[in-house]
């Protein structure tokens, strides 16, 4: 298995290809030979916990093919028990050494949470399970009188950092590997405008 630094380098290079429209995996999802080679096992070099937004498919924006990424998607890229368990599974089963929690600009889940916190309307407990995960990182920002676009931008980034912190400290398995420098967990933000992924705290 490759190191977390090499895994991060691959993601950066792939995103560079995506941004410059020079993908090398354009047809990777239809390659039958690649598909057949993965029927018995997989060896993903990175785990991506990202938002469910249809405009942010990790395999495409990082220009990777079948079997390269272990992707978990949930609205607002929140860290809940099922996501933690999925990451633990991938880390232990595949010895993957890099986890990226990736949010994105103008995230609808973050905006919906801001709206709900300002003026509660939803009666859905399921929706509130997402709001409740995002709420702690947004509450301090809502105390500041500021432009709504700036608020959303700051809220997206605060939620990413909060999710990274939560993941690092909500699992004894992951926490132990991070302390031993056998696992790197970092945040990232994808820009809907430019296609560029900015990694936090590399």
Per-residue pLDDT of 70-117, as tens digits, reads 999 999 999 999 999 999 999 999 999 999 999 999 999 999 999 998
CA-angle at 165, arms to 159 and 170, nearest 5° = 120
Spatial CA neighbour of 34 closest among 71, 64, 66, 68 = 66
- Tokens 């993908």 sit at which residue? 23
Residue 31 has pLDDT above 60, yes or no: no
Sign of CA dihedral 129, 133, 139, 142: negative
Domains of the chain: 4-199 (3.40.1050.10)
- Name which residue leads in pLDDT, 27 or 125: 125
Give me the residues paired with residue 48 across strands: 71, 100
| Mean pLDDT on 27-43 | 65
pLDDT band at 39 (very low <50, low <70, confident <90, very high): low
Q: Kindly report the pTM of this predicted structure.
A: 0.91
For residues 185-198, give the mean pLDDT: 98
- The predicted pLDDT at position 18 comes to 94
Q: Report whether pLDDT(30) > 60.
A: no
Closest CA to 72 of 171, 167, 175, 200: 167
Average pLDDT of 21-50?
Answer: 76
Q: Tell me how far apart the alpha carbons of residues 64 and 23 are, in angstroms, rounded to a whole number.
A: 9
The arithmetic mean of pLDDT across residues 40-45, rounded, is: 85
| Partner residues linked to 103 by β-bridges | 189
Contact between residue 67 and residue 34 where contact means Cβ atoms under 8 Å apart:
yes
Residue 28: DSSP 8-state: G
């Amino acid at each position: 298995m490759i190191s977390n630094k090499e895994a991060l380098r691959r993601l950066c290079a792939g995103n560079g290809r995506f941004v410059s429209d020079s993908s090398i995996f354009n047809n990777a999802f239809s390659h039958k030979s690649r598909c057949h080679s993965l029927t018995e096992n997989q060896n993903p070099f990175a785990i991506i916990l990202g938002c469910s937004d249809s405009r942010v498919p990790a395999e495409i924006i990082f220009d990777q093919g079948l079997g390269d990424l272990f992707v978990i998607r949930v609205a607002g890229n929140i860290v809940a028990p099922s996501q933690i368990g999925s990451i633990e599974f991938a880390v232990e089963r595949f010895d993957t050494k890099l986890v990226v929690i990736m949010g994105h600009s103008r995230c609808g889940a973050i905006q919906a949470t801001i709206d709900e916190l300002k003026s509660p309307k939803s009666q859905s407990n399921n929706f509130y399970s997402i709001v409740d995960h995002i709420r702690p990182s947004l509450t301090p920002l809502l105390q500041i009188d500021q432009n709504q676009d700036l608020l959303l931008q700051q809220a997206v980034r605060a939620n990413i950092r909060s999710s990274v912190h939560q993941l690092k400290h909500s699992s004894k398995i992951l926490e132990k590997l991070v302390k031993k420098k056998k696992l790197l967990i970092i945040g990232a933000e994808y820009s809907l405008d430019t296609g560029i992924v900015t990694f936090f705290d590399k």
